[in-house]
Amino acid sequence: MKVLRSITMLSVMAMLAASAATAQISLTPPGAETPPPEPVKPAARPKAKPREVAKDAIRKPPAAAPKPAATPVPDQTVTPAPVPDDPHADYVYAAYQRGQYKTAFDLATKRVQEKGDPKAMTMLGELYANGLGVKLDYDKAIGWYRRASAAGDREGMFALAMLRLSGRGGPGGGEEAAKLLASAAKLGSAKASYNLALLYIDGQNLPQDFKRAAELLRVAADAGNPQAQYALATFYKEGTGVPKDVEKSVRLLQAAALADNVEAEVEYAIALYNGTGTPRNQAAAVALLRKAARQNNPIAQNRLAWALSSGQGAPVDRVAALKWHIVAKTAGKGDPMLDDAFADMSPEDRAKAEAAARKWLGAK
């Protein structure tokens, strides 16, 4: 029986290098930590290969009926907490959250002038960095972020690090960013700990140090950062920077999957399907694959096609299976063995699958 092979260090490094932080920085009110933005893109490793979960798909699952033991992972939608209608609320942040950017700018400016508030400085940097309520101006954004950083605001440090790593603000961005991330991490920023770990993994702006990277990933993972949970799961699976521990790896994958990390959903599905580090539950595995497939993950689409064609974890549905195979092929995840598996389909069923695939692709 061929099973899904597990995650590799190379695959996670390629994934981490491919996910750049180009979106606006999410600010937090005093004392809170928001879900992190996508990680910064350290300089790409020249030998990194495209991300691939496994070459072996779900080919010939065991003939015995599955014995579900794990609880299926439910869909969860994370919504930001509402801004409290309270006299003591941070009105600058509240205006920003409501999209009232000009009001946020005016209030932040007043706070800086009257109180020298570093969080208001970070807000001004945020508005200039993204052209919200004011004309986009990276130089002014960097200036405000620098003032906020000097005043000890971890969000300002993190935002400035992201801009410096993106090449803004002149030469030496990587070195300055590493120092800023280290300072923000010491102040409790999970986002900074995660991105600093990426720099240690990459080994260009900082010496490559997987042990130190693992320590930082653990801090961020414990704080609920799903990207860190996924990366640390890979470390535990491979024994990179930490003792090898498959069960810890799977628990981290489960946590990241619950937080809607798509890569973790696919990997946790693999673990559930094979019973690796967790009781086998093929029904839960297929449910996760289906969820990830609907989020346009081609690996999940390919694996779902195999599951639906074999009837392991879900009733056989060759029309749906061929649909997902076609969709995965369109995204570059071809599979000659699946081509052969569907060769005997009737023209009517093939037409249904192709129409379903076109509908899905047209709706993207």
Burial of 359 (0-12, 13-18, 19+ CB in 10 A): exposed
Same domain? For 79 and 174 the reply is yes
CB atoms within 10 A of CB 18: 13
What is the structure's pLDDT at 14?
Answer: 52
Same domain? For 192 and 324 the reply is no
Same domain? For 286 and 170 the reply is no
Residues 6+ apart with CB under 8 A from 307: 58, 273, 282, 285, 286, 289, 313, 314, 321
Question: Residue 36 sits in a domain of what CATH number?
Answer: 1.25.40.10
26's tokens: 């999410």
3-state secondary structure of 123: helix
Taking residues 222-250, what's their average pLDDT? Answer: 97
- Is residue 236 a part of any domain in this protein? no
Same domain? For 36 and 174 the reply is yes
- Is residue 231 a part of any domain in this protein? no
What is the structure's pLDDT at 226?
Answer: 97
What is the structure's pLDDT at 90?
Answer: 80
Same domain? For 16 and 159 the reply is yes
Q: Please check whether residue 29 is in contact with residue 123, taking contact to mean a CB–CB distance below 8 angstroms.
A: no
- Is residue 336 a part of any domain in this protein? yes
Radius of gyration of the chain, Cα coordinates, nearest whole angstrom: 23
- Is residue 48 a part of any domain in this protein? yes
Question: Which residues form the domain of 327?
Answer: 281-364
- Is residue 267 a part of any domain in this protein? no
- Is residue 272 a part of any domain in this protein? no
Same domain? For 104 and 216 the reply is yes
- Is residue 135 a part of any domain in this protein? yes
Q: 74 vs 355, which has greater pLDDT?
A: 355
Domain count, the chain: 2
What is the structure's pLDDT at 8?
Answer: 53
Same domain? For 180 and 95 the reply is yes
30's tokens: 């005093």
Last residue of a domain, which of 177, 199, 225?
225
172: pLDDT confidence band, cut at 50, 70 and 90? confident
Give pLDDT tens digits for 315-348: 999 999 999 999 999 999 999 999 999 999 999 9
Taking residues 150-177, what's their average pLDDT? Answer: 94
Same domain? For 31 and 126 the reply is yes
- As a whole number of angstroms, the distance between CA 47 and CA 38 comes to 22
What is the structure's pLDDT at 34?
Answer: 38
Same domain? For 14 and 135 the reply is yes
Same domain? For 186 and 291 the reply is no
Same domain? For 13 and 137 the reply is yes
Single out the residue of 260, 206, 266, 208 nearest to residue 234, CA to CA: 266
Same domain? For 303 and 157 the reply is no
